[in-house]
């Protein structure tokens, strides 16, 4: 595969992940902050959004763990871009263990169907920001080719 083909595929994978993450958090935010449009969100939509976010967080935490071998993470590599994980590791290098614990806690709350707090929503927003930055970086790289 050519260089542009690889970048294009990375961009596609990253943008799909970003859209999934963003769409799910928007639904949960509407519900949490009781916005007018929240009344149109079904219980099934909320449940699906929670499941998707919990799955993404689980995969991110798995890849952030230093002690996992490549074989254990291999199934996650296409869905969670390695440069996104690297970006998170660099941003949280001084507090990576606390950060992973926070993400695990949010993942558990989502899995258990508990209400999210504003602090937990902010953690997911941070992931959106970092994934958006990675998507933008790939888009710019693709446009330069």
Averaged in consecutive runs of 10 residues, what is the pLDDT profile of the chain (145 residues)?
82 90 94 92 95 94 70 50 90 93 96 92 92 90 84
- Give the closest residue to 54 by CA, choosing from 12, 14, 114, 10: 114
Contact 9, 1 (CB under 8 A): yes
Burial of 15 per CB tally in 10 Å (0-12, 13-18, 19+): middle
What does the pLDDT read at residue 19?
93
pTM: 0.84
Q: Which residues contact 134 (CB under 8 A, 6 or more apart)?
A: 14, 81, 83, 84, 87
What does the pLDDT read at residue 82?
87
What does the pLDDT read at residue 1?
61
Task: Indicate the CATH number of 3-144 among 3.30.70, 1.10.3470, 1.20.120, 2.60.40.
Answer: 1.20.120
What does the pLDDT read at residue 8?
87
Where helices occur in 33-95 by DSSP H, the ranges are 43-64, 70-73, 82-91
Q: Where are the domains of the chain?
A: 3-144
What does the pLDDT read at residue 74?
47
Burial of 51 per CB tally in 10 Å (0-12, 13-18, 19+): middle
Structure tokens at 22: 């963003």
What does the pLDDT read at residue 79?
72
Structure tokens at 142: 């693709």
- Give the closest residue to 79 by CA, choosing from 5, 20, 8, 28: 20
């Amino acid at each position: 595969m050519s260089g542009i083909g690889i970048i294009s595929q990375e961009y596609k994978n990253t943008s799909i992940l970003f859209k999934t993450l963003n769409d799910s958090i928007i639904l949960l935010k509407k519900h949490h902050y009781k916005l007018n449009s929240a009344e149109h969100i079904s219980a099934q939509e909320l449940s699906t959004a929670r499941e998707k976010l919990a799955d993404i967080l689980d995969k991110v935490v798995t890849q952030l763990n230093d002690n996992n071998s490549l074989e254990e993470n291999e199934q996650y590599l296409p869905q969670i871009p390695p440069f996104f994980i690297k970006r998170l590791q660099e941003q949280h290098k001084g507090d990576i263990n606390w950060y992973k614990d926070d993400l695990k806690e949010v993942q558990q709350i989502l899995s258990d169907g508990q209400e999210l707090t504003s602090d937990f929503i902010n953690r997911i927003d941070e992931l959106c920001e970092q994934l958006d930055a990675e998507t933008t970086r790939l888009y710019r790289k693709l446009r330069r080719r």
